[in-house]
């Protein structure tokens, strides 16, 4: 099979865009990616979105966005896997190119939280959990993550601020990201003083829901001119896995099976060992997710993911840099767009265009997009081709 | 590329299943398809669903259904394109197999309307239309189709009962389909007496929303044992296209561009002319859609699709049999499952297992799944391999 490459990237700033509609957000990201690709015309559009049917009373985003972007006639579809919708849309775009049936695919992740406020947003997010067995009891996504975190702290003797460095690292990395929602570093003292959201999750253990859109242009390497601007970025590995929505159905709720399975499959496709991965964009919607992801993927042994943060090994100069552009914590969590933001940021790292946050000589990046507490995980290995 | 084949099919009866949950409907169809395939284990699940986030407060169906079907760990995703979600899920499954990355894919379409009633259902369906410009004005899907039908009748001098045979044919074909919601033939007199829903659409010009699930097992031909039960059915053509959601944005609202584009692309892949198509499963959510689909695909010239019905050419013994198992009108319209039902019914025809409704010697079937007024169209050509 020929290489599937990312020939264009685009993103909007992440934040509360009260005045910008969902379709306009998507358009901004698409136009940026289109321009970055040198104007390649796509034949297919894959939209990653999580909540528009509930938050914006708008489904059928494939046709809607294709039309709005001036692409009427191309094939277009929405891909949904809760918080992993962005990663899943990237995976469908990848499969379409790999099939040989589509030459150029546009992947756009878009989320517009600010079409609703307050409890309506929590209710919408709860559709990602098991409606009949969890949401119906009033369990929100944050409360569910709090249960996980509490258990994790109990099992592994983690002190109250054992997770602080996940937030501190993300916020430190967000400073130089002009698209980040929060471009301000925080101190341990700030973490200590932070308001509790759902014990033990404080304000800095949960990523902010935010509006945003990011886009990718995918194509086959052999379709690009030989003098294409380098370095080009290849999708070297792509895999996904699913698990129960409800935590009570799992054998071990403190092990994210899907993180292991999807990353393992993607790494196997590349023929890589983890030590070759230069950075890891994990799905830090909650700091407990970050810790559990590090463990399941294999960067830490079980129960010790938080230690990587404590030891500063996830910082830009650490053993495995994570959330290199601020992650979901500081860049913001734009729902179904989050997985596409990860890819855009990883491409910037691999092109050597990550500015102050550049990982020197980055060749391989692992990105992982989660839906719910890793009920879905989609993993991609991106590789710089010189 | 090796042939992509349909190795297993399953369906539940279509109707008002007040007592069966969405996940149980999906499970029933999956188990039937799994059994029909001889027990091949899938690696990927593509769920076609239109409204569960609104009607059942449940998104993230990929992981939910994979788990419930005992397939925890496989990759799983929801594919949405309004009423074309079923066709779109089939297309994603096809692309996954064609890519060589997935050996066996399960495609399930599922819809559960009866989790809500009345205006809440209309509101949910309206998410498939342009929320900011059409739905916000109070335009429902049925009212939108009524505008189309009225205009069509005016432009083409169609008498009041010019559409009657779409319903009569569908209901005649539903009689022998034990999974159909309505298994009763109707007379022209019944059509004449029918209550008006949204002038000029009467009770028999609109398909009933209904619960149901249908499933397909897709794989590569070379992975099946050489003594596989014949005839095997191949996906010979697959294509999709998109158009504006809002009718006011179209150059000619009485021509379904996407029906033409997607069917044309799929037919070109097979290298077929329309006269070789033995039956056409159109998307008759409204009888006006059926007429416009016949025209755009090319079975009738513009403005004359309704004449094919009047002349009985869409009946089982006509020039182009349509809705051969009752179509959406009599089998029922299970939203995002509808496109998968079409595929299941087409496979039955091509296997020669359509009983009283069998099209003798059927070799090629064209199926077409629409979202909104053909804002999305997904077309597949299925072929019997002897």
Round to whole Å and give the CA distance between B130 and B126.
8
Round to whole Å and give the CA distance between B18 and A205.
41
Q: Which of B1, B80, B249 faces A67 most closely, judged by CB atoms?
A: B249
Identify whether residues B251 and B279 lie together within a single domain. yes
A73 touches chain B (CB under 8 A): yes
pLDDT above 70 (res A226): yes
Structure-token match 């890589």, residue found: A272
Please indicate, yes or no, if residue A127 is contained in any of the structural domains: no
Check residue B1 and give its pLDDT. Answer: 61
Identify whether residues B338 and B377 lie together within a single domain. yes
| Owning domain of residue B181 | 138-207+235-385
* B 265-304 residues with CB < 8 A to A: none
Indicate yes or no: CB of A76 within 8 angstroms of CB of B240: yes
Please indicate, yes or no, if residue B159 is contained in any of the structural domains: yes
B133 touches chain A (CB under 8 A): no
Mean pLDDT score across all residues of chain A: 97
Per-residue pLDDT tens listing for chain B (386 residues): 689 999 999 999 999 999 999 999 999 999 999 999 999 999 999 999 999 999 999 999 999 999 999 999 999 999 999 999 999 999 999 999 999 999 999 999 999 999 999 999 999 999 999 999 999 999 999 999 999 999 999 999 999 899 999 999 999 999 999 999 999 999 999 999 999 999 999 999 999 999 999 999 999 999 999 888 778 999 999 999 999 999 999 999 999 999 999 999 999 999 999 999 999 999 999 999 999 999 999 999 999 999 999 999 999 999 999 999 999 999 999 999 999 999 999 999 999 999 999 999 999 999 999 999 999 999 999 999 98
A138 touches chain B (CB under 8 A): no
* B 31-50 residues with CB < 8 A to A: 44-45, 50
Structure-token match 């700033």, residue found: A13
Please indicate, yes or no, if residue B230 is contained in any of the structural domains: no
Identify whether residues B41 and B112 lie together within a single domain. yes
Element (H, E) at A330: helix A327-330
Residues of A in contact with B72 (CB under 8 A): 242-244
The closest of B224, B240, B277, B46 to A101, measured between CA atoms, is: B240
pLDDT above 70 (res A155): yes
Identify whether residues B44 and B188 lie together within a single domain. no
Indicate yes or no: CB of A54 within 8 angstroms of CB of B50: no
Please indicate, yes or no, if residue A146 is contained in any of the structural domains: yes
> ipTM, 2 decimals?
0.98
Q: Which residues contact A146 (CB under 8 A, 6 or more apart)?
A: A197, A198, A199, A200, A201
Please indicate, yes or no, if residue A295 is contained in any of the structural domains: yes
The closest of A60, A57, A67 to A27, measured between CA atoms, is: A67
The closest of A105, A89, A168, A87 to A342, measured between CA atoms, is: A87
Residues of A in contact with B66 (CB under 8 A): 242
Identify whether residues B48 and B175 lie together within a single domain. no
Identify whether residues A78 and A95 lie together within a single domain. yes
- Looking at residue B339, the DSSP 8-state letter turns out to be H
Domain termination site, one of A223, A247, A264: A223
Please indicate, yes or no, if residue A171 is contained in any of the structural domains: yes
Identify whether residues A244 and A361 lie together within a single domain. yes
Identify whether residues B26 and B8 lie together within a single domain. yes
pLDDT above 80 (res A294): yes
Residues A86-122 pLDDT 10s: 999 999 999 999 999 999 999 999 999 999 999 999 9
B66, B105 contact by CB (below 8 A): no
Domain termination site, one of B156, B191, B223: B223
Residues A259-271 pLDDT 10s: 999 999 999 999 9
A101 touches chain B (CB under 8 A): yes
Q: Which of B64, B67, B82 faces A59 most closely, judged by CB atoms?
A: B82
Identify whether residues A259 and A329 lie together within a single domain. yes
Please indicate, yes or no, if residue B254 is contained in any of the structural domains: yes
**Beta carbons within 10 angstroms of residue A334's beta carbon:** 33
Quick one: tokens of B378? Answer: 């997904």
Identify whether residues A111 and A144 lie together within a single domain. no
Structural domains in chain A (count): 2
Q: Which of B1, B21, B131 faces A56 most closely, judged by CB atoms?
A: B131
Chain A: residue whose CA lies nearest to B375: A63
Residues A325-377 pLDDT 10s: 999 999 999 999 999 999 999 999 999 999 999 999 999 999 999 999 999 99
Domain termination site, one of B188, B223, B258: B223
Q: Which residues contact A160 (CB under 8 A, 6 or more apart)?
A: A200
- Strand ranges in A12-135 using DSSP code E only, listed in sequence order: 44-48, 75-80, 104-111
CATH number (domain holding residue A367) = 3.40.47.10
Identify whether residues B106 and B150 lie together within a single domain. no
Please indicate, yes or no, if residue A14 is contained in any of the structural domains: yes
Chain B: residue whose CA lies nearest to A66: B242
- A131-150 average pLDDT score: 95
Check residue A1 and give its pLDDT. Answer: 61
Chain B: residue whose CA lies nearest to A23: B132
Q: Percentage helix, strand, coil, to 5, in chain B? A: 40, 20, 40
Identify whether residues A215 and A181 lie together within a single domain. no
């Amino acid at each position: 099979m020929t290489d599937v490459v990312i020939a264009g990237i685009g993103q909007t700033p992440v934040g509360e865009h009260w005045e910008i509609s969902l379709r306009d957000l998507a358009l901004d990201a698409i136009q940026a990616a289109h321009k970055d690709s040198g104007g390649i015309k796509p034949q297919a559009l894959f939209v990653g979105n999580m909540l528009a049917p509930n938050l914006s009373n708008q489904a059928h985003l494939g046709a809607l966005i294709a039309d709005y972007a001036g692409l009427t006639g191309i094939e277009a579809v929405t891909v949904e896997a809760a918080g992993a919708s962005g990663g899943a849309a990237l995976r469908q775009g990848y499969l379409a190119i790999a099939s040989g049936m589509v030459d150029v695919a546009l992947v756009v992740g878009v989320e517009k939280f600010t079409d609703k406020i307050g409890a309506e947003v929590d209710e919408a997010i709860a559709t990602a959990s098991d409606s009949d067995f969890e949401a119906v009891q009033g369990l929100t996504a944050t409360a569910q993550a709090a249960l996980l975190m509490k258990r994790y702290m109990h099992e592994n003797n983690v002190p109250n601020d054992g997770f602080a460095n996940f937030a501190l690292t993300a916020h430190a990395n967000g400073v130089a990201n002009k698209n980040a929602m929060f471009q301000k570093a925080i101190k341990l003292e700030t973490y200590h003083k932070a308001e509790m959201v759902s014990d033990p999750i404080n304000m800095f253990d949960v990523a902010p829901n935010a509006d945003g859109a990011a886009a990718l242009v995918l194509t086959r390497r052999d379709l690009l001119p030989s003098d294409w601007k380098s370095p080009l970025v290849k999708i070297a590995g792509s895999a996904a896995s699913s698990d129960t929505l409800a935590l009570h159905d799992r054998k071990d709720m403190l092990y994210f099976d899907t993180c292991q399975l999807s990353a393992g499959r993607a790494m196997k496709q590349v023929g890589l060992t983890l030590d070759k991965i230069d950075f890891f964009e994990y799905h830090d919607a909650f700091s407990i997710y970050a810790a559990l992801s590090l463990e399941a993927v294999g960067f830490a042994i079980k129960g010790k993911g938080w230690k990587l943060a404590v030891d500063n090994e996830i910082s830009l100069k650490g053993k495995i840099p994570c959330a290199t552009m601020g992650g979901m914590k500081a860049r913001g969590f734009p729902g179904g767009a989050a997985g596409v933001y990860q890819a855009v940021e990883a491409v910037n790292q691999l092109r050597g265009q990550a500015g102050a946050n550049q990982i020197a000589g980055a060749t391989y990046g692992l990105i992982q997009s989660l839906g719910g507490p890793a009920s879905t995980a989609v993993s991609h290995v991106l590789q710089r081709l010189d």
